[in-house]
Structure 1
Amino acid sequence: MVERLVGDGAGETLKIRLLNLPVELVKRTISHGDAILRELTFVALADHPERGVPDMPNLNLILVHAGLERRLRNGETAIDVDVEVPATAVSESARRVALVEAGDRLAAEGLLLMTPPSPDVVACRRWLVDQIVDQSRGGAPVPWSG
């Protein structure tokens, strides 16, 4: 099955194969990242409203999140899936992870309302971005073993 990360189909795409993808954990990982990025945006706006909304990664995960919701409702816990991503997803996913990890450090210091993520969310996030980057360079898919 192929899930699309972005719906417009414009530009070059890459097919990323995610093996043994833990559906509920990936959903939590995406949700945590989204929440951290939202809070970082609010903090940036509060500190420097004159600068406007900060430049955040352009990686639309709405369709993936919806697909995971469907899978959970169907009782699926781990799946093998091919995900088509725009070529820009390589740099944008790395940028997203860097910002989320910076936010996690602030959360650990008590500087954000968010709590730090659980170790399984951190491991899943690293696995996801590693799969995108490694496979974009011709590497073989590595199943989630978390």
Structure 2
Amino acid sequence: MSDPKYTAYAPAAPYFDLVRGALGDLVDGEHFFDAVSNEVVYEVLYDIGGWPRVIRGRDDLMAGFRGYVDAIALRSADQLIVHQTDGGHVVVIEYEVHGTILATSVKYDNRFCSIIRIENRKIAHWRDYMDSLAAWNALTASAR
């Protein structure tokens, strides 16, 4: 994440690096946000306070992640499993993230499954599933 325009997103670097590595040469762009189309649809199939169910457009996705990195700092992302379908136009990734809720210093560990559609060598659509209970427990836990 050497591009200075992404410095503010450093707390999510493990996630961005994992995703970018998972997609390899299927997409163009060095950073996750460079690999996202301007018209991306980023859909989450869970309700977590403050995060919208659907984000449309790269600029709004970047704004959403600003809120994320203000709340959570990741120390790692791992356990990656990659499934390619439709000739590499659809990629399913399973992974885990590990970090800290900044307001409380509570440990945050979560599992995800993301379905990514690629068009014109950019991420066009993202559908995300996660362990909502793990997120809820971390976000509602008392400070330690």
**What range is the shorter-chain TM-score in?**
under 0.3
TM-score (norm 2): 0.27
Pick 1 or 2: higher relative contact order, CA cutoff 8 A, min separation 6: 1
TM-score (norm 1): 0.27
Larger radius of gyration: 1
Structure with bigger helix share is 1
Structure with bigger strand share is 2
